[in-house]
A and B are shown apart, each in its own frame.
Chain A
Amino acid sequence: MPLQYEGILAEYESTHRAATVFDTSHMGEFLIEGDHQEIGLDRLVTCSIEDMPLRTCRYGMVLNEQGGIVDDLIVFRLEKAKWFIVVNGTTTDKDAQHFRKYLKNKMAFHNISSELGKLDIQGPLSREILKSFIKNIEKLDYYTFNEFELLGERAIISRTGYTGELGYEIYFPWNKTVQLWEVIFQDRRVKPAGLGARDILRLEMGYSLYGHELNESISPLEAGLSKFVDLKKDFVGREALLKRQAQGVSRKIICFISETRRSPRSEQKIYDTQDVEIGSVTSGTFSPSLKRGLGMGYVNNVGVALGQKILFGDATNKFPAEVTTRPFYKEGSLKT
């Protein structure tokens, strides 16, 4: 995916007002066949999957034995004992090794990343646009999916995304994905969008990005993702999480909004109002909707409270901001 096509701001506006398409073919996809308990899939992911109805999606993570996040992912239940798992692009090979290591039946695991392209159509008009060539697409609820016939091929389409707007993610045979792109763009209301717009949109929602907010030394407790962890079941990393929970975490994620248009950048430091360094910025951007800089980062365990003033910057230049809750942007069409 390029950084931009027409321009980051224009693509951002198009996603909020109409619809854009992101080429996310770099993402990884695994197909897993077998009973989730028997083959050990249930032990691999942090979210409960036992109770997932067919054709629903669920966000979760895979952890290492120390409770650190190997990756975040979305689980799709294709059939009672057939699963489709979507992981991050840069982590696909590492994830595949991790799955092979912990799955009891190696034959049940298929890394199908190279067979699939992926196009995300996001924005308030996305449903209307897809309706003109995909029958029954309007029946998909938030975080559900179905299989559709499209250009003579089988497509998996989920109502998911990374932008905070109504949207769909289309998994399609890679050698037909260009053709699908052309069909979607026959509707002149759709514009292509790149990584620049995607990063602003996801940050306005407070969505974590692997490699920034998440990595193998950070657990879901620190990352503020406990609600995607089912501690009642057994999973890889659970013991370590319980231990971290009992001891108390040493750092915690925060979301903060700049008091001006000055925007935080990853790698900058976070300070309290007495100029004492308390953490660092993991992601930052200018929010065109809020007309303020906004950021996410980790602070050491000093008990930073909502509404508290902090500073971001470096030793010579520090800028004021306020601790807030995610999402930053609350006007999206996500669940309409």
Chain B
Amino acid sequence: MEIIEHYLYTKEHEWVNIEDNIATMGITDYAQSALGDITYIEFPDLNSEVEQFEQFVSVESIKAASDIYAPLSGRVIAVNENLESDPEIINKSCYHKGWIAKIEISDPEEKSNLLTPEEYRKFLESMEDKET
């Protein structure tokens, strides 16, 4: 599973890339692989306020429907509109072209609730241990 070294992660398999006070977020390689071919995405309204770890995006794959949670609190300032007609971009490039939303961060302190790449890698390994 690919993990990007300068991103932060959640236990719900979202990634976040923070530049100044803007957080670009998406789902991890593990999540896209588990979901399978993604067929539909529903975004929150632009400028809506979201709370950290609150459900704010829905995705459907060929196998199932799933919720995506906001990694940080703030205001939704952009969504990746390319995904509306081609949601499978997430499967092809989950960390780059398949970004989902940009959030203007309201509370930088919340970063401490996120996992570092090393912590996320360990979290994935512990999940594998449980499965086997």
Write the B59-71 contact mask toward A (1 if CB under 8 angstroms, else 0): 0101101000000
Contact B62 A196 (CB under 8 A): yes
Contact B62 A261 (CB under 8 A): no
CA distance A4 to B63 in the complex (A): 10
Contact A263 B36 (CB under 8 A): no
How many residues of chain B are within 8 Å of chain A by beta carbon?
Answer: 11
Complex contacts, A286 vs chain B, CB 8 Å: 39-40, 60, 62
Complex contacts, A288 vs chain B, CB 8 Å: 39, 62
CA distance A4 to B33 in the complex (A): 13
Task: Knowing A7-B37, A9-B37, A286-B40, say if A261 contacts B63 (CB, 8 Å).
Answer: no
Interface residue? B42 (CB, 8 A) = yes
B41 to chain A: closest residue by CB: A261
Write the B84-101 contact mask toward A (1 if CB under 8 angstroms, else 0): 000110000000000000
Contact B40 A260 (CB under 8 A): yes
B62 touches which of A200, A260, A262 (Cβ 8 Å): A200
B87 touches which of A3, A7, A261 (Cβ 8 Å): A261
Complex contacts, A260 vs chain B, CB 8 Å: 40
How close is B99's CB to chain A, nearest CB, in angstroms?
Answer: 19
A317 to chain B: closest residue by CB: B58
B65 to chain A: closest residue by CB: A265
CA distance A200 to B40 in the complex (A): 16
How close is A116's CB to chain B, nearest CB, in angstroms?
Answer: 30
Write the B18-41 contact mask toward A (1 if CB under 8 angstroms, else 0): 000000000000000000110110
Write the A1-42 contact mask toward B (1 if CB under 8 angstroms, else 0): 001100111000000000000000000000000000000000
Contact B36 A262 (CB under 8 A): no
Contact A7 B39 (CB under 8 A): no
CA distance A251 to B132 in the complex (A): 46
Complex contacts, B40 vs chain A, CB 8 Å: 260-263, 286, 293
How close is B66's CB to chain A, nearest CB, in angstroms?
Answer: 12
How close is B60's CB to chain A, nearest CB, in angstroms?
Answer: 6
A196 touches which of B63, B87, B88 (Cβ 8 Å): B63
CA distance A285 to B63 in the complex (A): 8
How close is B87's CB to chain A, nearest CB, in angstroms?
Answer: 7
CA distance A286 to B36 in the complex (A): 13
Bin the interface of chain A by size.
10 to 19
Complex contacts, A8 vs chain B, CB 8 Å: 36-37, 62-63
Contact B37 A262 (CB under 8 A): no
Write the A182-203 contact mask toward B (1 if CB under 8 angstroms, else 0): 0000000000000010001000
How close is B48's CB to chain A, nearest CB, in angstroms?
Answer: 17
CA distance A196 to B63 in the complex (A): 8
Complex contacts, B87 vs chain A, CB 8 Å: 261
Complex contacts, B36 vs chain A, CB 8 Å: 4, 7-9, 196
A8 to chain B: closest residue by CB: B62
B40 to chain A: closest residue by CB: A261
CA distance A78 to B8 in the complex (A): 65
CA distance A288 to B40 in the complex (A): 11
How close is A289's CB to chain B, nearest CB, in angstroms?
Answer: 12
A293 to chain B: closest residue by CB: B40
Contact B42 A285 (CB under 8 A): no
CA distance A263 to B65 in the complex (A): 9
Complex contacts, B62 vs chain A, CB 8 Å: 8-9, 196, 200, 285-286, 288
CA distance A320 to B87 in the complex (A): 20
CA distance A162 to B39 in the complex (A): 23
Complex contacts, B42 vs chain A, CB 8 Å: 262
Complex contacts, A196 vs chain B, CB 8 Å: 36, 62-63
How close is B45's CB to chain A, nearest CB, in angstroms?
Answer: 15
* Residue ranges of A at the interface with B (Cβ–Cβ < 8 Å): 3-4, 7-9, 196, 200, 260-263, 265, 285-286, 288, 293
Can you list 21 pairs linking A and B with CB atoms under 8 Å apart? A4-B36, A8-B36, A8-B37, A8-B62, A8-B63, A9-B36, A9-B62, A9-B88, A200-B62, A260-B40, A261-B39, A261-B60, A261-B87, A262-B40, A263-B39, A263-B60, A265-B65, A285-B62, A286-B39, A286-B40, A288-B62
| Further 19 A-B residue pairs, CB within 8 A, beyond A261-B39, A286-B60 | A4-B36, A7-B36, A7-B37, A8-B36, A8-B37, A8-B62, A8-B63, A9-B36, A9-B88, A196-B36, A196-B62, A200-B62, A260-B40, A261-B60, A261-B87, A262-B42, A265-B65, A286-B40, A288-B62
